[in-house]
Amino acid sequence: MKIPTRTVSPVTLVILSMILIGMPLRGTTVRESDENDDGVTDQWIEVVDETTTRIRKDRNFDGVADYELIYDERARKVFESLDFNFDGRMDDFYYYEQGVLARREIDIDFDETIDLWVYLSEGVYISRIERDRDGDGKVDYVKDYGLDEDR
């Protein structure tokens, strides 16, 4: 639970605390929609808290969400994930810092363990690649890219 403190006076803060203590925690609000009008929900927008909103989508309309996006109060991406092969399990993950893509993690063989980590600078330049080539969950190959190189 976060209370904005920058512009809040002490009195307001006390009142806010009383309200928060006195009220049961409200559940998250989920807004559902049916983008392809087939009668089955395929998009969920969930306000998790003041700083976090989560969108989930069912891109192939099989009833199972296969895309997730989390963004912050300034509409900057925080996290994104994708079920590339539509088996119901996410396998492609995007981690953002200040809204800029910093790292991507991919489960190449869809066995629910990450095989490839890609680190980016400025959101586009690959700075480092890590691989787990034998599938034991541990990195066994690392490639660092010089900052002067294009890729």
- Give the Cα-Cα-Cα angle 141, 133, 119 (nearest 5 degrees): 50
d(CA 48, CA 81): 17
Instruction: In angstroms, give the least distance from the CB of 82 to Ca ion.
Output: 8
What φ, ψ does residue 54 adopt, rounded to 5°? -120, 130
Name the segment binding Ca ion (CB under 5 A); options: 3-11, 81-89, 117-125, 138-146. Answer: 81-89
Of 53, 56, 67, 83, the one binding Ca ion (CB under 5 A) is 83
Of 97, 111, 122, 144, the one binding Ca ion (CB under 5 A) is 111
- Give the Cα-Cα-Cα angle 80, 30, 5 (nearest 5 degrees): 75
Given the complex with Ca ion, which of 35 and 50 has the nearer CB atom? 35
Residue 33 binds Ca ion, judged by CB under 5 A: no
Given the complex with Ca ion, which of 93 and 119 has the nearer CB atom? 93
Note whether 68 and 83 are within 8 A (CB): no
Of 9, 25, 38, 151, the one binding Ca ion (CB under 5 A) is 38
Residue 42 binds Ca ion, judged by CB under 5 A: yes
The residues that bridge with 45 in the sheet, in sequence order, are: 31, 55
Residues near Ca ion (CB under 5 A), total: 20
d(CA 110, CA 87): 9
Instruction: In angstroms, give the least distance from the CB of 29 to Ca ion.
Output: 20
What φ, ψ does residue 67 adopt, rounded to 5°? -150, 140
d(CA 143, CA 99): 25
Interface with Ca ion (CB under 5 A): 34, 36, 38, 40, 42, 58, 60, 62, 64, 66, 83, 85, 87, 89, 91, 107, 109, 111, 113, 115
